Amino acid sequence: MNLINNLEWRYATKKFNPSKKVSSENLDQIKKAIQLSASSYGLQLYKVLIIENSEIREKLKPASFGQNQITDASHLVVFCNYSVVTEEHIDEYFTLKSETEQVPISDFKGYSDFIKADVLNKSATEKHRWSSNQTYLALGNLLNACAELKIDSCPMEGFEAEKYNKILSLDEHGLNASVIATIGYRSDDDTSQGAKKVRKSFTNLFEI
C-alpha cells in the first residue's frame, strides 16, 4: 500500500532547506487535499492561511518558541477555526449545497434546522473546540498529500495562538489559529531524518 510507504517516509522535519521552494502546482495539489477533507456535517468551519512572506514569518517565529521551521520552510500553513460558530455559517453551507446539487434550498429546511439545533445549542467553549477539531483532519490530509508528493512537513502546536491571532489580525475576522504546519524540503543535515519511528505496538494500540 502506497500510503504506508509514504507514512514511513515522512517525519516531522526539524531543519528545512531555506532555498528549496514548493512549486505552485504542488501547492495546488496540497490545497485540493485540504479542500477535500471531511468535516462534521461538511461545514468546513475554518480558513487556511498559506504564508510565504518572510517578514510575516519573522514576526511569527518568536510566537512559535523560536522554532526555525517557521522561517526556513518553503511555506507556513496556519489552520484557523471560526472562534464563534453562528447560524450564518450553517446557512452559508446550505446555500452552497443547494447551488452545487441544484436542489432548492427549501428542500433542506428540516436538515438545516436539525444541524442548527445541534450546533447552536453547544456552549461557546464546546463550539470553539469542535470547530478547532475539524482543522486537525485537514492537517492530516496535508501531511499525507505532502508525503505522496515527497514534500517534507512538520505539524506544529508549539506556538502561541493569541499572539498569532494578533499578528495575523485573525481576531478581526472571528478566526483563531488552531494548529499550524510547515512544508518544504529537508536540509541534508537534518539529524531527525532516518530516525526510527517510535510507535506503540499493535497489542498496545488496538483491542480486538
- Stretch 152-171: interaction string toward ligand FMN, x if CB under 6 A: --xxxxx-------------
Q: Which residue has the cell 506556538?
A: 159
Q: Computed from CA positions of residues 24, 39, 162, 88, in that sequence, does the dihedral angle turn out positive or negative?
A: positive
Angle, to 10 degrees, between the axis of helix 24-35 and the axis of helix 124-148? 140
Site for ligand FMN in 79-108 (CB under 6 A): none
SS3 194: coil
Which residue, 197 or 200, has its beta carbon nearer to ligand FMN? 197
Q: Binding residue for ligand FMN (CB under 6 A) from 169, 197, 200, 203?
A: 197
Which residue, 86 or 133, has its beta carbon nearer to ligand FMN? 133
Which residue number is nearest to ligand FMN in terms of Cβ? Answer: 158
**Nearest distance from residue 162's CB to ligand FMN, in Å?**
16
Which residue, 89 or 186, has its beta carbon nearer to ligand FMN? 186
Q: Which three cell numbers stand for residue 92?
A: 452559508
What would the 3-class secondary structure string for 112-160 be? HHHHHHHHHCCCHHHHHHHHHHHHHHHHHHHHHHHHHCCCEEEEECCCC
Site for ligand FMN in 1-30 (CB under 6 A): 11-12, 14
Q: Which three cell numbers stand for residue 122?
A: 453547544
**Nearest distance from residue 114's CB to ligand FMN, in Å?**
31
Count of residues near ligand FMN by CB under 6 A? 11
- Stretch 168-187: interaction string toward ligand FMN, x if CB under 6 A: -----------x--------
Query: Burial of 122 by CB count in 10 Å (0-12 exposed, 13-18 middle, 19+ buried)?
Result: middle
* Interface contacts to ligand FMN, rule CB under 6 A: 11-12, 14, 67, 154-158, 179, 197
